[in-house]
Structure 1
Amino acid sequence: MKIDLATQAGRTIVDQVVAAIAEGVESRNLPPGRKLPSIRAFAEANDISKSTVVEAYDRLVARGLLESRHKVGFFVAGQRPPFDLSEPDPARDRDIDPMWMVRQSVEVDSHCLKPGCGWLPAEWLGGDGLRRGFRALARAPQSQIIDYGRPLGYAPLRTQLQRIFAERSIEAGLGQIMLTDSGTQAIDLINRLLIQPGDTVFVDDPCYFNYLCNLRAHRAKVVGIPFRPNGPDPDIFAAEAARHHPRLYLSNATLHNPTGATMSPAVAHRLLKHAEDFDITIVEDDIFADFEEHPTPRLASLDQLKRVIYVGSFSKTMSSAMRCGHIAARADLIEGLTDLKLATMISNNEISAQVMHELLTDGSYRKHVEALRGRLRKAGAEVRRSLADIGLGLWTDPRGGAFLWAVLPEGRDSSVIAKRALAEGISLAPGNAFSVSQTAGRYLRFNVAQSGHQRIYEVLRRILGT
């Protein structure tokens, strides 16, 4: 049993052995009952000491992943402990684990400042429009507020989405559009349909941390592709594709989370060619589409849904509480996703879909997002100045949206800074929560809409000593 071992800062050989075997067990590449090599054989195969193997095996027994049978050897446990998403990866400090990031975002005290969170302040969102929409729905005799909706979702909203996609040069038939309760649910359905435990999935490095949480829940093997200011590195993408043969690539091509960057057309064309060569399905998460001031070509528009599955939602622009997302894809994929949706949730939030349709057709949504873009533009300029004043640079200058990927001074660790800031009532987003390779320790994600309070910069200046 040969595993890849490397010299990594802060990660011992024992840690790497434990992580490699644990991944094999979680992905079912090492099935229950499988006998592992003897301590001597494993040590010789990997050119490590027997004491290292003993410690690694003992840790895995303690975690319930292996069983030790006296004078027989070590075996993959038949009875597995309950799967726990909150359990940190053995290679990661708990403070930068993606599930910690999710919990911190939604569970910290309401009085805590949240410059690291991923949503807009409540007062920026469409509360007044939603109230009007709900009142209109309640008055309309033909509104559907009791029964299940159709499997694909509320048809008038799907028709409206069809028009919106056409404005983005994406041609989708009505039967190619399915409603979901959120963008996150859409991605989960796609992952359920297309990947099996042990399959490889590509993500950007860094990427939205909840991709990592969801893929872990599906027992996928996650490989990060380094993300540059103009998109993922296409040469590394091709080399890693030849090595790992991934099933999916999951990305934000526009207003990337967490960096705010937008993929260039040249990189997009090369990625689509590599996806075709290696038979990879691309999931384009375009949840921030309406924040973009000057629209750019989508992967879905270049590919016309042949290999790209297009995902979106209204949670970031209107309300996190009103769950309404969508998927556009090839008809055969939509058929499989619809069956899976029926099997797991029967329907989606029909009331939210009807309210969203009302807002899209009466013109209020368009006015709302135009105002949002203006507020984001103004806030972005102010936060840029505040970050510069305390000595933080920017990795790239986004074309709009909510996120800035700030660079800390050399030698500073964003997870350490985030811990200290949280003790003072400020919730930050440390870079390694977004990074598969754990190479983003000098970065912090700032949400410009949540970063206007000067106390944020006073605390950071004191922590940084600038």
Structure 2
Amino acid sequence: MLTRTTAQSLTDQLANLFAERIRSRLLAHGSRLPSVRECARQQGVSTSTVVAAYDQLLAQGLVEARAQRGFFVREAAPGAPRGPAQAAPDGGQPLPSGSQFNATALIRGMFHQASDKPQPGSGVLPLEWLDNTFMASAVRKATSGRALREASLRYGEPMGDLGLRQALARKLAHLGVPAAPEQIITTVGATQALDVVSRMLLKPGDPVMVEEPGWSVEFARLDALGMRVLPVPRLPAGPDLEVMARYCEAHAPKLFVSVSVFHNPTGYCLSPGSAHRVLQLAQEHGFHIVEDDTYSHIAPEHATRMTVLDGLARTIYVSGFAKILAPNWRVGYLAAPPALVERLLDTKLLNTLTTPSLLERALATCIDQGQLRRHAERIRARLDQARTRSVRLARQAGCTFVAEPTGLFGWVDTGVDTELLAQRMLDEGYLLAPGALFSASRQPSTLMRINFANTQDAAFWRVYGRLVAAQGR
């Protein structure tokens, strides 16, 4: 909170508050600052103080003023060129060319806690949920005797530890995904698996279909690689098939990136009918599908997966263990059609050489001994209880669930601009995930994603209700 002091003026305090958040990326590029009157009311200062603070931010090159619209965090360094907008073929919002889709605000929030309070915008489970005793035992086993010396002094296997790949093949077979160990490649987390697929299949300028709303990191990653992002609206049963068909006719995309089960941020699960139609489009138009199954450990085993229906013909399966077990182990993997495996392996080797085999061996032990399965069952039961409490509190606070609450995340309508709400909530020590972060074109939104595990605290919802009521006035 701003305080009157002889050491620093209110103007300087306010300017420094915004500057710190912009430089730490807690305020994303392209974010709109509160209007002068709104900021003055929020901070309890005069409008002239806000104008002077915004002038300082302008002078520092951190924000820009847009006529009749307000002040925005600069999207590029001064003098950097901006590409022209390109219209989407379905007549929707224009797709910004070369714009910086901002995911770092959300990512940095994972590592830079706004406070010691539970963070509603977080994408991970609470640390105490992940804590267990079997991981340490598995690491001791993997490093016993000569294993530590041999694994430390040599590079790991190019494809990944064979024991882990065999364990993963059995795990995937249980889901119905037909992947032999020779079709599985381990990676540094699921994010690198997605990156390996993109670098192997695509070249700069290639069109890629991605679900919207969608994972902001995926938008940012593809944009950084120079790909043309084609956002496909995600509906309850699956992607908007009409939009996909028009993209196929107009742009001949090379890849479709999808989260079939517990889609982030909506929680939607793919229906069998939609899955069949997507696979038909892939066959007709020659594109591949990468299915990100990051939330498989908390999802129903019978959930529809395109890799199961397709048998890894035009599909590539991607998953990891950061969400359920060991975020810092950074173990992910992909399962691919046999014809693509060698090219995918070459791409991995050029990117990171090999992956650390010690932790891969420890993970294989956790899988083979059933410890991961039992741990996931406990997490699912705990999450079900948390979801019930969180949904009740959210509805009492006036939130409307746009999608049926399932999985880890809730997709809720607040009725107010959530980017502005997120800025105010930071003052209270809470990091939100506003809807604009899940839009390829960063469209303003009244939606936000909440983490059910981190929104069970009634104190958060009281603060939320107070600020929403103030913003709505």
TM-score by length of 1: 0.78
CA 91–183 in structure 1, closer or farther in 2 if over 3 Å, else same: closer
Q: Does 1:259 align with 2:266?
A: yes
For 2:339, the equivalent position in structure 1 comes to 332
Question: Could you say what secondary structure the match of 2:460 adopts?
Answer: helix
- Post-superposition offset of 1:173: 2.0
What SS class does the counterpart of residue 139 from structure 1 fall into? coil
**1:179 — aligned with what?**
186
- Find the aligned partners of 1:297 and 1:262 in 2 and give their Cα distance: 7
CA distance in 2, matches of 1:61, 1:126: 42
Name the counterpart of 2:127.
122
Residue 108 of structure 1 deviates from its aligned partner by: 3.4
Q: State how far apart, in whole Å, the 2-side matches of 1:110 and 1:324 are.
A: 28
1:431 aligns with 2:459: no
In the aligned structure 2, how far is the partner of 1:403 from the partner of 1:252? 13
- Any conservation in 2 of the 1:127–1:319 contact (CA below 8 Å)? no
Q: 1:97 aligns with which of 90, 96, 102?
A: 102
SS in 1 for 2:179: coil
C-alpha separation between the residues in 2 aligned to 1:290 and 1:64? Answer: 43
Aligned to 2:279: 272
* Match 2:413 to one of 398, 404, 407: 407
**Structure 2 equivalent of residue 150 of structure 1:** 157
Match of 1:368?
375
CA distance in 1, matches of 2:137, 2:218: 34
Gaps of 5+ in 1: 1-9, 12-58, 67-88
How far is the alpha carbon of 1:126 from its aligned partner? 4.2
Within the candidate set 52, 57, 79, 1:63 is matched to: 79
Separation in structure 1 between the aligned mates of residue 300 and residue 281 of structure 2, nearest angstrom: 29
The 1:168/1:294 distance shift into structure 2, 3 A limit, reads closer
2:228 corresponds, among 221, 233, 237, to 221
CA–CA distance in structure 2, aligned partners of residues 268 and 344 of structure 1: 32
| Shift of residue 455, structure 1, vs aligned partner | 2.1
**Aligned counterpart, 1:193:** 200
Distance (whole Å) between structure 2 residues aligned to residue 274 and residue 439 of structure 1: 28
Deviation at 1:104, TM superposition (A): 2.9
Q: Partners of 1:61 and 1:293 in 2: how far apart?
A: 46
What is the alpha-carbon distance in structure 2 between the residues aligned to residue 386 and residue 337 of structure 1?
46
CA distance in 1, matches of 2:354, 2:98: 39
Change in Cα spacing, 1:61 to 1:465, as seen in structure 2 (3 Å) is closer
Alpha-carbon shift at residue 136 of structure 1 (Å): 1.9
The match for 1:26 is none
Q: Assess, with a 3 A threshold, how the Cα gap between structure 1 residues 152 and 125 changes in structure 2: closer, same or farther.
A: same
Shift of 1:344: 2.1
Show the counterpart of 2:385.
Answer: 378
Q: Which has the larger displacement, 137-146 or 184-193? A: 137-146
- Give the alignment's Cα RMSD to 1 decimal: 2.4
Partner of 2:318: helix, strand, or coil? Answer: strand
- 380-389 vs 110-119, which moves further: 110-119
Corresponding residue number in structure 2 for 1:43: none
Number of paired residues?
383
Paired residues of 1:420 and 1:463 also in contact (CA < 8 A): yes
The 3 A distance-change label for structure 1 pair 394 and 361 is same
Question: How many Å apart are 1:376 and its aligned residue?
Answer: 0.6
Question: Are the equivalent residues in 1 in contact too, given 2:261–2:293 (CA < 8 A)?
Answer: yes
CA deviation map 1:402-441 (0-9, x unaligned): 11111122xx111111111112100010011011244560
Shift of 1:110: 5.0
Distance 2:301 2:78 in 1: 54
Q: Using a 3 Å threshold, how does the CA distance of structure 1 residues 61 and 169 change in structure 2: closer, same or farther?
A: closer
Q: Pick one of 243, 246, 257 that aligns with 2:253.
A: 246
What do the CA deviations read for 1:258-300 (whole angstroms, capped 9, x no partner)? 1111011111111111111111111100010010135312110
Find the aligned partners of 2:424 and 2:77 in 1 and give their Cα distance. Answer: 35
Taking the aligned partners of 1:380 and 1:372, their CA distance within structure 2 comes to 12
Q: Deviations over 1:348-397 (max 9, x none)?
A: 02111011011111121111000000011000111100100011011111
Distance 1:63 1:194 in 2: 33
Corresponding residue for residue 61 of structure 2: none
Looking at structure 2, the residues matched to 184 and 107 of structure 1 have their Cα atoms a distance apart, in angstroms, of 20
1:232 counterpart letter in structure 2: P
Distance, in Å, in 2 between the alignment partners of 1:266 and 1:440 is 32
Q: Please name the residue that 1:451 is paired with.
A: 455
Alpha-carbon displacement from aligned partner over 1:57-96 (angstroms, at most 9, x marks no partner): xx99962449xxxxxxxxxxxxxxxxxxxxxx7998x9x9
Q: Distance in 2 between matches of 1:60 and 1:159?
A: 46
**1:321 maps to what in 2?**
328
Structure-2 change in CA distance of 1:242 and 1:340 (3 Å): same
3-state SS in 2 of match to 1:201:
strand
- 1:464 alignment partner, one of 446, 462, 468: 468
